[in-house]
Amino acid sequence: MAESHHGAEIEHLLRELAPQVLGAVARRFRDFSSAEDAVQEAMIAAFKQWPQEGVPANPRGWLIQVAGRRLTDHVRSEIARRERETAIAAEAESFSPELEIEADMDPDDTLILLFMCCHPALSASSAIALTLRAVGGLTTAEIANAFLVPEATMAQRISRAKQTIKVSGVPFHLPAAHERTERLPTVLHVLYLIFSEGYASSIGSHLQRLDLAREAIRLTRNIQVLLPENAEVAGLLALMLLTDARRAARTGPDEELIPLDRQDRTLWDRAEIAEGIELLTRALSKGSVGLYQLQAAIAAVHDESERVEDTDWAQIVALYELLRRVSPSPMVTLNHAIAAAMVHGPAKGLELLRALDSDPRIVGHYRLEAVRAHLLEKMGDREGAIKHYRNAATRTTSIPERNYLITQAARLAGD
Amino acid sequence: MKYILLMSGTSAGVEGYHAWSKQDIEAHMAVLQRINKDLSASGEFVATQGLADPREAKLIRGEKNGMPVTDGVFPESKEFLLGYWIVDVANAQRAYAIAGQISAAPGPGGKPTNMPIEVRQFAAHEKPAK
Amino acid sequence: MKYILMMAGKRSEFEQYATWSKEDLQANVTFMRAFSKELKDSGVFVSTEGLGWPSEAKLVRAGTDGEPITDGVFPESKEFLAGYWIVDVESPGEAYRIAARASQAPGPGGKPSNMPIEVRPVLSSHADLGI
């Protein structure tokens, strides 16, 4: 028991140190890609040795030194290889940079890494994988397992992501302020994707799957500490906490989905809700309004309602109207329609859906079908609701969603 | 020894399943869930996947002008793969027993569906002798 | 998003395959190996399997007494799964492009076979947060 507790502590320490170590090594060697590989190797070595030998007095220094040595070894053997090919002896002997342990400790390193890993040139899945490794300090195996792909595939994905960064000539320093402002939404989106990926179960998985939602919260928390004045970062963290708070109530004993209006609210995590609300309140007091703050505010209205019938739907509708102006999207319109139906009746909700019928981004999407079914049911159109629940079931790619939609249709058909 | 257990059905069959009562659907899902849990516990579980509805299926035949050539409509009688299990078992008999359990999962009225489950081995390195 | 790309054929098509020349078979195997490697190098590979011969396939139904009923009787028209790839890609279009390449595996005489590849999304156990 003590051993596994110790192991978990070491794991947590390594993850927290990873971006700092990578920052120091990448800054020194000016080769992000090789530095990242070397840091990975150092972390794996630490994870093997520290449980036996104890955590060193200066764990960060240990990792920087080991990573530095790996890098130097690779560079030396690369030079030696060239030496064998071109017979240049002197170079190999003269290359021996001594890495000062406390050199170049820059608190901005985590931010620099985050902006690099979420570079617009990368696809979403590449950015997610690279962020989890370079900023999150997770191992390739852990990330592969979380996304249910082979380790070799995940390694390749990360390798190619780093190659893209190299080719794009992304420098190792913090982007200029205006660029940071422009690129922050992409960064936050990647963090949000990691969070939402966390809501998956695994059937028969032998390995303990990483809790991606918790990892996303940890990373976003770290970013929020580095950017305390940024309201959208705080908004994103609040949104994650307010959503994660409901986790225990979201699935039933057979992994079945339980919608918000039927969840046992006594299972919600009140401490997480309190923290989320506090963060949100402080963020909103800064006066600006953004996508994540608004979504967090909507989540807060739900989370603050002791019973589903206490939900202040009028406030939610107002928030969605604002969200539609700040960050319009088909999903926002869908959610707005559901809320509007609660205040003005299902016919109003269906009216709002009509705009989506000609939107190529969402026409035929399972959620549009599912929301329509839900509203038709409320209208008393049982046949229409059954038809659209079944349509939705054929279009979803999620097992729990499909099971939920099939059973909704069956419930109505049986009434 | 690894075997793959294939569950297939026609589009009409899938629609039929969607029309079962809520109780029957839940009972069916619960049995398949329990089989998965038992296989995990026994160490025989390798993998299981469910495939999206046949509506989302596409047939690709080569490419033309650099674009995939999508074939048209599938015949109504087509048996679509709906899902599979990969198990690692001591012998063929055990694979058939597991397939039998899946086949016995309850359907309408709680009676076993008796759906056929195809059991296949993975390819050997040599073709079988003619 | 994960997709499964499936190759299937009737029993007669498997038997046809067994009559290919050694060179044609080798070309096909070489293609398949290179194809899987390409998928691995591009970071989309999840798995691939080749299935055994149709003569070895069995159909199992639940018996009435707990003993399964097993037979090897299939209609001539039955399509047998020959093998599949599972890939993890950013869009359905990417899955179709990969299937189009797989479809060009060489057949008799080394010509692209243009065999039909069925592409299906693989269901995830991921639940939409609905935000």
Chains within contact range of chain A (3+ C-beta pairs < 8 Å): B, C
> Is B101 contained in some domain?
yes
Look up the domain containing C25 and give its range: 2-51+78-121
Residue B68 belongs to domain with CATH number: 3.30.70.1060
- Beta carbons within 8 Å of A34's beta carbon, 6+ residues apart: A71, A74
Of B10, B8, B12, B16, whose CA–CA distance to B107 is shortest?
B16
Task: Note the pLDDT of residue A206.
Answer: 43
Structure confidence at residue A199 (pLDDT):
67
pLDDT of the residue at A4: 64
Beta-sheet strands, E only, within A61-192: none
Contact call for residues A369 and A401 (beta carbons, < 8 A): no
- Beta bridge pairs of residue B59: B71, C118
- Tokens coding B74: 């599938």
> Closest to C57 (Cβ–Cβ): which among B51, B114, B118?
B118
Supply the pLDDT for residue C31: 96
- Per-residue b/e over C48-66, b at no fewer than 16 CB within 10 Å? bbebbbbeebbbbbbeeee
- Angle subtended by helix axes A399-414 and B22-42, to nearest 10: 150
SS3 label, residue B64 = strand
**For residue B47, what is the nearest residue in chain C, using CA coordinates?**
C47
The domain tally of chain B equals 1
Q: Which two tokens stand for residue B45?
A: 């579980």
Whether chain A has a CB inside 8 Å of the CB on B22: the answer is yes
The CATH architecture of the domain made up of A106-200 is Orthogonal Bundle (1.10)
Identify the band that residue C39 occupies on the pLDDT scale cut at 50, 70 and 90: very high
CATH number of the structural domain spanning residue C87: 3.30.70.1060
Instruction: Put residue B43 in one of left, alpha, beta given phi > 0 → left and psi -120 to 50 → alpha.
Output: left
Cβ within 8 Å of A, B 33-72 = 33, 36-37, 39-40, 45, 47-48, 50, 52-53, 55-56
The total of other beta-carbon atoms located within 10 Å of residue B43's CB is 10
Query: Is the CB of B96 less than 8 angstroms away from the CB of C116?
Result: no
Whether residue A402 and residue C123 make contact (CB cut-off 8 A), yes or no, is yes
Query: How high is the pLDDT of residue A175?
Result: 87
Residue C78 neighbours by CB distance under 10 Å: 17
Chain C residues near residue A124 by CB distance under 8 angstroms: 90
| A149 shares contact with chain C (CB less than 8 Å) | yes
> Best of A133, A145, A153, A196 to disrupt the C interface by mutation (most C CBs within 10 Å)?
A153
Q: How big, in percent rounded to 5, are the helix, strand and coil portions of chain A?
A: 75, 0, 25
Task: For residue C130, tell me if it sits in a domain.
Answer: no
CA distance linking residue A255 with residue A400, whole number of Å? 7
Cβ contact A254–B18 (<8 Å)? no
Verify whether the Cβ–Cβ distance A153 to C1 is below 8 Å.
Answer: no
Quote the CA–CA distance of A398 and A368 in Å, as a whole number. Answer: 15
- Please tell me which of the candidates C61, C83, C118 has its beta carbon nearest to residue B114: C61
Its pTM stands at 0.89
Nearest to C46 among A150, A197, A255 (CB): A150
For strand C58-61 and strand C69-71, is the pairing parallel, antiparallel, or unpaired? antiparallel
Whether C56 maps to a domain, the answer reads no
Are C118 and B49 in contact (CB < 8 Å)? no
pLDDT per residue, tens digit, chain A (415 aa), is 456 668 889 999 999 999 999 999 998 888 899 999 999 999 999 999 999 999 999 999 999 999 999 998 887 887 778 777 765 555 544 444 444 545 456 768 899 999 999 999 999 999 999 999 999 999 999 999 889 899 999 999 999 999 999 998 888 888 888 998 899 999 999 999 999 887 665 554 444 567 899 999 999 999 999 999 999 999 999 999 999 999 999 988 877 889 999 999 999 999 999 999 999 999 999 888 999 999 999 999 999 999 999 999 999 999 999 999 999 999 999 999 999 999 999 999 999 999 999 999 998 899 999 999 999 999 999 999 999 999 999 999 998 899 999 999 999 998 7
- For residue A298, give the chain C residue with the closest CA: C131
Q: Are the Cβ atoms of A410 and B20 closer than 8 angstroms?
A: yes
Distance CA B75, CA A132 (A): 45
Q: Residue B14: its chain A contacts at CB < 8 A?
A: 394
- pLDDT confidence of residue C63: 85
Residue A173, SS3 per DSSP: coil
Residue C62 lies in a domain: no
Chain C CB contacts of B73 below 8 Å: none
CB C100 within 8 A of CB B63: yes
Does residue B128 lie in a domain region?
Answer: no
Comparing C-alpha atoms, which of A45, A67, A19, A189 is closest to residue A119? A189
Q: Is residue C59 part of a domain?
A: no
C97-109: per-residue pLDDT in tens?
A: 999 999 999 999 9
In angstroms, how far is the first alpha carbon of chain B from the final one? 23
Which token pair is C102?
A: 């797989």
Give me the architecture of the A329-415 domain, per CATH: Alpha Horseshoe (1.25)
Show the tokens assigned to A411. 């419930």
With contact defined as 3+ CB pairs under 8 Å, the chains touching B are: A, C
Spell out the domain ranges in chain A.
Answer: 1-104, 106-200, 228-308, 329-415
**CA of B127, closest CA in chain C: separation in Å?**
8
The pLDDT of C38-45, averaged and rounded, is 97
Query: Could A200 and C42 be called an inter-chain contact, meaning their C-beta atoms sit closer than 8 Å?
Result: no
Question: With b meaning 16 or more CB within 10 Å and e meaning fewer, what string describes A33-71?
Answer: ebbbbbbbbbbeebeeebeeeebeeebbbbbbbbbbebb
CA atoms of B86 and B50, how far apart (whole Å): 12
Q: Give the integer Cα–Cα distance in Å for A141 and A40.
A: 11
Residue C22 lies in a domain: yes
Pairing of strands C2-9, C116-121: antiparallel
Q: What is the pLDDT of residue A362?
A: 92
* Interface test mutation site (partner A, options C3, C88, C128, max chain A beta carbons within 10 A): C128
Number of structural domains found in chain C? 1
Residues ≥6 apart with Cβ < 8 Å to A64:
A21, A24, A25, A99, A101
Give every residue of chain B whose pLDDT is below 50, as ranges.
126-130
pLDDT of residue A95: 47
Question: Domain range for residue B49?
Answer: 2-121
